[in-house]
Chain A
């Protein structure tokens, strides 16, 4: 019987790309008194299930999904978790 794995994809703008949402959130956190906060980045998390038993293979599959659709490699980097 085929199992089901859980995938979680985190997508963030690449370090060199100005994250204007991150800047706005950071400024607001400073306003609220959290002066020590820096380098806020706002990204996106995408969760789904994927049929299969082999996490390594599933991770490869999810990486391909990131390249095709889930992230835009011109501006975004991504991190994949499969368990």
Chain B
């Protein structure tokens, strides 16, 4: 499997994502600087990692969403390449309009950093097929702006179309309908606030995140 991890100024989980992909599925991973206008050929997965791209200036993900590399990401996404935005990457994908909704300041105004249990709401996606009968996933979260928001019509549509993929078992930040992760209509773009890249082997406290990468590999 060939994967690219985008690197924005302020990304801080880019190397975690690389290691997670290499160790969990043996992926061949290219690191791609955000100023690049082209992505490597033949990619199966593009990861937008966690961190604080552009220092979260203006709004989380707002400036990164306009980076040169995002045109290539948009193009690849329209051709069906799997794209996963984790944490800050989810914020970037929303700001870029590749996913609906937005991530607001956490209710409680706190940066929430802890292990969190998720329900796998849709196990039929390219990102969750390997969860099989497993309907829960334990990962860590670490964000101050992870409170998913979308208007009621959009939320109804997301639920109706099976686009809600992960839900918090206990809502940590006020996210609408406890949503932790969604996919786009075509099912090839995922946004997820918790970190599968910090939970890909048992030494890290959970290996559930590896199932997400295994799912993508199985669909590649």
Contact = CB atoms under 8 A, between A and B. Distances in A.
Chain B residues touching A, range: 20 to 34
A18 B174 contact: yes
Interface in B82-116: 94-95, 100-102, 104-109
B158 interface: no
A21 B101 CA distance: 20
Contacts, number: 37
A83 interface: no
Given A70-B58, A74-B94, A75-B104, A20 B109 contact: yes
A72 B62 contact: yes
Contacts of A69: 58, 62-63, 66
Task: Please classify the interface of chain B as helix (H, G, I), strand (E, B), loop, or mixed, using the class held by over half of its residues.
Answer: loop
Contacts of A16: 151
A24 interface: yes
Contact of B109 (A21, A72, A74): A21
B108 A75 contact: no
A18 B102 CA distance: 13
Contact of A24 (B66, B94, B109, B150): B109
B144 to A, nearest CB: 11
A77 to B, nearest CB: 13
A72 B102 CA distance: 9
B91 to A, nearest CB: 10
A20 B144 CA distance: 12
A17 interface: yes
Contacts of B106: 20
A37 to B, nearest CB: 18
B149 interface: yes
Interface string A21-39: 1001000000000000000
B2 interface: no
A20 B109 CA distance: 7
B108 A20 contact: yes
Given A17-B149, A18-B174, A72 B108 contact: no
Interface in A41-61: none
A31 B187 CA distance: 48
B93 to A, nearest CB: 12
Nearest to A42: B105
Interface string B62-78: 11001000000000000
Given A69-B66, A74-B94, A74-B102, A20 B59 contact: no
Given A20-B174, A69-B63, A74-B94, 10 more contacts: A17-B149, A18-B107, A18-B174, A20-B107, A20-B109, A69-B66, A72-B102, A74-B102, A74-B149, A75-B149
14 contacts: A16-B151, A17-B104, A18-B107, A20-B104, A20-B108, A20-B174, A68-B66, A69-B58, A69-B62, A69-B63, A69-B66, A70-B58, A72-B59, A75-B102
